[in-house]
Structure 1
């Protein structure tokens, strides 16, 4: 726990400085509240590091020294700006001792929760293995030939690689996801505090409703809590959907209330959407709708065609941030959008067509997931019948109905935020339809199910000033802080279950006695039976076929090619 809290605190402080430097460089959100700028800055700092490390992985192993070098280098560049130094000083002067106590109470509770044993299968299957490949060798050509899932590219794996040093013996796989969850809880607390003090804006109510629904679902449901306690990129992708939609709402409400608009605010939302896509391909609709908003929202004036040209040029410039992501996919699998077969190249390390089709069906060919239907029965009807039997999917359908009802309320009722409502509705509908046709997993669609209902609820509360009910609650800050820390300490003590090393570091990943196998000149370790790789020594695979070393003299770090 102490390791997790220490790393989170260092990364949050550093990423705040890095992101603030980017905000000042972009001249975005110049009049936003300090707390909002802090949250945006931390997200920008995290994504800047993730994208920089993904790029560096093309050339170098992502060791803790490399990660620390980028962290300090970016921080020094950011602090060259006088405005950045001044704002950091102003922000920290406003932090009280009790707020620090509350922060460490929240961090301790979250650290205790994520310091449980990792049991999410995908982390054992390939997440942690990819992180270790990046940490030890960087991006390795043809690694998808060793095991198809190793070809999945994610900037989140690159971000996590330096945070998992060998000295910790596979104990830090949950650090990155715990950091994101902590950031979400802190933003939720910030918005709730503003409501208590009658300082809330529409965006605060929206955040409270969104996170008030999503955070308990993640903590209370076994499936989502298991994913949180893992190295899965699903968690940052989920919260980046909320962060991107929040910045769009922040931009539009500011423009609506002040009748002024700072065009550079849009670049932040686009940067977040690009970062989300580089972390998880499922964020494609998020990038698509955010890109349309970036290009056309303020470009419809026929006398302002220069704006559209400017936005197109800026979008192309920001699009270059995706080049390392595409290159990583080409290097590992020959496909820039792996596991999608779109734009694949015929390279010596490209998987054969049968393997590509198999991995594509396992990720987004959901109609084939339920087996072969009886003769005369439509495959779609057969798949829908099985899909709807699951309780979680029934809940998803009810939330989709809620989204439709909320959209009607926002578009038909008296709503001075109708413009932003249209864009957030477009975002939610596009993503929901995308997932229903490709991979209707609850965890992928979860944040989109609350975007529109949360906007309808927060708009209603703002219109009728019902949020003042929370403002009437008088809670002593010292009392709240003391209770929070006491509860966090008790929870952390109960969670260790006599394994007192967890007070220092999380428990290690599962240890498997792997069997050494060989195909051609490739020697690898294979877990027995249905076991997974987890923390098995590299290279770990399952049943490697038709693969050989790309350069036997250099070994596995040079990569693999087809036999």
Structure 2
């Protein structure tokens, strides 16, 4: 736990410095005069430092040398913004002299509880299955060698190549602690939860209905994943950051922000979310509002800045994709743009894409991938755990209801130019589109909690806002909203109790109060491949974890690929 707090302090410091520098400079270039908050700096810094790690991995392992360069860059940022940090120091001194109010004290206590709680669970709980399958190995590849040609031939799931693994490699502190820490996802969860919970105390009014209702989502999500938050999965940071973006976008609209710059930077941030996980692709539709405003007012410089920033954020992800798998976006075989000798065979990519769909639908049969939703939906519904069905039901009811409510809201205000209404309706539609994309692509719950939780909450807020000024309709809106919220609240309550009983068992083990639990070290088989030892699990297709490296999931598959050279850095290719 102590090692995690040290790790978080370092992540917090470096992401704040780089995030504030880049965001403030972008605002200056876009001629926008906006205060860059601590949370905005942290989130921007996560995107900036992940992008930096991605570019660094193109030239070698993301290890202690990468951190030395990062610290030098941070020092340069602080020097260039020295006036800001002088002012910040003065503000901190003034805070010491301010009167401590009850609300401020509660916020501090809640923040400390969130930090202590999440860091504790991140130090000693259970890993999700995919962490042993490929997360840990992906991170180690990035730590040791960076992006290596054709490693998706060893294990096709390396081809998924989330940029989050570059972030995890950058902050693993392996050289300092002697083991690879895996707490970046929990850090993101902690800061988003603090932002959500403490924001209620600073924005508690009818004006902030939308953002305040959406602040519930990160708390519920934390309750759901608490006993797997130790896993460096790409699902957790993606869901948390989507939830933050929704709250932030709603807050800007509620504050009457009309300048396109902050919305444009949120749209740029959605490009980073896509590099984290492709299920976030519909979030890019957020760009509609700032793009419309900038084009209407002919702000071509701002448009070019945003396009350039988005390309920089996505570039290392796409380049790494080509290096690792030979495909621009794996496993989409339709984007066949590169003729390289290490390319994963097209049939493997197509098969993997099919497996993702049928597995998420609980069908488990590739031949049934073409089934219509009417055919696979009953199987999918039955395959869910009982509590998951409540979340599914809430989103399935909320999505069409949200479209109806938004349409009525627009008709009611058709003769009035209401920018806030347009922004909130857009936010609803974007999230509903995200839910639909998740539903029809790979409807596994852990991929889609950002939409399963946020869509119902947004619809609740939109319904209450629409009916609030009408006495009898307000009652109707409250009843509908309460029913929808109950579908989310009941499984959350049951999960909270499950967490409590699990905590009673886990708390008996005090061996991880300093160091975070390391990855398991299973028995592995090995085979020599032209001088390189390749490990594979005793159970075909099983977990290989971190210690035995490099590892493949099937030992029998080694016969189908070969080295590209004498060294591991030369990569691997398929035998034809």
Counterparts of 1:276-295 in structure 2 under 5 Å? 276-287=273-284, 289-295=285-291
CA positional deviation for 1:456: 4.9
Which stretch has the larger CA shift, 426-435 or 126-135? 426-435
CA positional deviation for 1:94: 6.1
Please give the alpha-carbon distance, in whole angstroms, between the structure 1 residues aligned to 2:544 and 2:424.
46
Structure 1 counterpart of 2:449? 446
Structure 2 counterpart of 1:524? 534
Structure 2 counterpart of 1:560? 572
CA positional deviation for 1:208: 3.7
Residues 1:245 and 1:529: Cα distance change in structure 2 (over 3 Å): same
Aligned residue among 544, 552, 556 for 1:541:
552
Structure 2 counterpart of 1:328? 320
Q: What are the Cα deviations for residues 138-193 of structure 1, in whole angstroms up to 9, with x where unaligned?
A: 111100011101122122100110322445454622x1011011101210222122
Matched, 1:360 2:353: yes
Structure 2 counterpart of 1:427? 430
- Match of 1:299, SS state, is helix
- Match of 1:264, SS state, is helix
CA positional deviation for 1:83: 5.1
Residues 1:541 and 1:291: Cα distance change in structure 2 (over 3 Å): same
Preserved contact between residue 21 and residue 84 of structure 1 (Cα < 8 Å): no
CA positional deviation for 1:542: 2.3
Q: What are the Cα deviations for residues 126-146 of structure 1, in whole angstroms up to 9, with x where unaligned?
A: 001010110011111100011
Please give the alpha-carbon distance, in whole angstroms, between the structure 1 residues aligned to 2:154 and 2:35.
50
- Match of 1:14, SS state, is helix
Please give the alpha-carbon distance, in whole angstroms, between the structure 2 residues aligned to 1:90 and 1:332.
48
Residues 1:450 and 1:93: Cα distance change in structure 2 (over 3 Å): farther
Residues 1:407 and 1:105: Cα distance change in structure 2 (over 3 Å): same
CA positional deviation for 1:105: 3.5
CA positional deviation for 1:537: 2.0
Residues 1:498 and 1:183: Cα distance change in structure 2 (over 3 Å): same
Residues 1:545 and 1:438: Cα distance change in structure 2 (over 3 Å): farther
- Match of 2:80, SS state, is coil
CA positional deviation for 1:421: 1.9
CA positional deviation for 1:326: 0.7
**Which structure is richer in relative contact order (CA contacts within 8 A, separation 6 or more)?**
1
Residues 1:546 and 1:325: Cα distance change in structure 2 (over 3 Å): same
CA positional deviation for 1:411: 4.2
Structure 2 counterpart of 1:234? 235
Residues 1:82 and 1:310: Cα distance change in structure 2 (over 3 Å): same
Residues 1:226 and 1:520: Cα distance change in structure 2 (over 3 Å): farther
Matched, 1:211 2:215: yes
Structure 2 counterpart of 1:509? 519
Q: How many residues align?
A: 517
Structure 1 counterpart of 2:488? none
Please give the alpha-carbon distance, in whole angstroms, between the structure 2 residues aligned to 1:495 and 1:324.
42
Counterparts of 1:302-451 in structure 2 under 5 Å? 304=297, 306-307=298-299, 309-321=300-312, 322-344=314-336, 345-364=338-357, 370-371=363-364, 380-389=373-382, 390=384, 391=386, 392-393=388-389, 395-413=391-409, 417-451=420-454
Preserved contact between residue 342 and residue 573 of structure 2 (Cα < 8 Å): yes
Structure 2 counterpart of 1:550? 564
Q: What are the Cα deviations for residues 299-342 of structure 1, in whole angstroms up to 9, with x where unaligned?
A: 34xxx4x23x4454234312322121111000000011112223
Preserved contact between residue 210 and residue 458 of structure 2 (Cα < 8 Å): yes
Counterparts of 1:88-237 in structure 2 under 5 Å? 88-89=88-89, 92-93=92-93, 103-166=111-174, 168=177, 170=179, 172-173=181-182, 175-195=183-203, 198=204, 200=205, 202-203=207-208, 205-219=209-223, 221=224, 224-237=225-238
Please give the alpha-carbon distance, in whole angstroms, between the structure 2 residues aligned to 1:101 and 1:72.
34
TM-score (ref. length: structure 2): 0.81
CA positional deviation for 1:493: 9.9
Which stretch has the larger CA shift, 144-153 or 381-390? 381-390
Residues 1:104 and 1:340: Cα distance change in structure 2 (over 3 Å): same
Structure 2 counterpart of 1:484? none
Preserved contact between residue 24 and residue 84 of structure 1 (Cα < 8 Å): no
Please give the alpha-carbon distance, in whole angstroms, between the structure 1 residues aligned to 2:530 and 2:246.
50
Please give the alpha-carbon distance, in whole angstroms, between the structure 2 residues aligned to 1:519 and 1:452.
50
Q: What are the Cα deviations for residues 267-292 of structure 1, in whole angstroms up to 9, with x where unaligned?
A: 320232121111112211112x0233
- Match of 1:501, SS state, is coil
Please give the alpha-carbon distance, in whole angstroms, between the structure 2 residues aligned to 1:502 and 1:102.
23
Gaps of at least 5 residues in structure 1 are: 467-489
CA positional deviation for 1:452: 4.7
Gaps of at least 5 residues in structure 2 are: 475-499
Please give the alpha-carbon distance, in whole angstroms, between the structure 1 residues aligned to 2:144 and 2:373.
44
Please give the alpha-carbon distance, in whole angstroms, between the structure 2 residues aligned to 1:138 and 1:359.
24
Please give the alpha-carbon distance, in whole angstroms, between the structure 2 residues aligned to 1:494 and 1:296.
53
CA positional deviation for 1:366: 5.6
CA positional deviation for 1:47: 1.0
Please give the alpha-carbon distance, in whole angstroms, between the structure 2 residues aligned to 1:385 and 1:452.
22
Which stretch has the larger CA shift, 11-20 or 119-128? 11-20
Please give the alpha-carbon distance, in whole angstroms, between the structure 1 residues aligned to 2:501 and 2:91.
31
Structure 2 counterpart of 1:481? none
CA positional deviation for 1:368: 7.7
Structure 1 counterpart of 2:61? 61
Q: What are the Cα deviations for residues 473-522 of structure 1, in whole angstroms up to 9, with x where unaligned?
A: xxxxxxxxxxxxxxxxx999967645433110111111111111134554
CA positional deviation for 1:19: 1.8
Please give the alpha-carbon distance, in whole angstroms, between the structure 1 residues aligned to 2:282 and 2:424.
17
Which stretch has the larger CA shift, 392-401 or 114-123? 392-401
CA positional deviation for 1:58: 0.4
CA positional deviation for 1:118: 3.5
Q: What are the Cα deviations for residues 452-486 of structure 1, in whole angstroms up to 9, with x where unaligned?
A: 5434544647967x9xxxxxxxxxxxxxxxxxxxx
Matched, 1:252 2:263: no
- Match of 1:4, SS state, is helix
Please give the alpha-carbon distance, in whole angstroms, between the structure 1 residues aligned to 2:152 and 2:305.
34
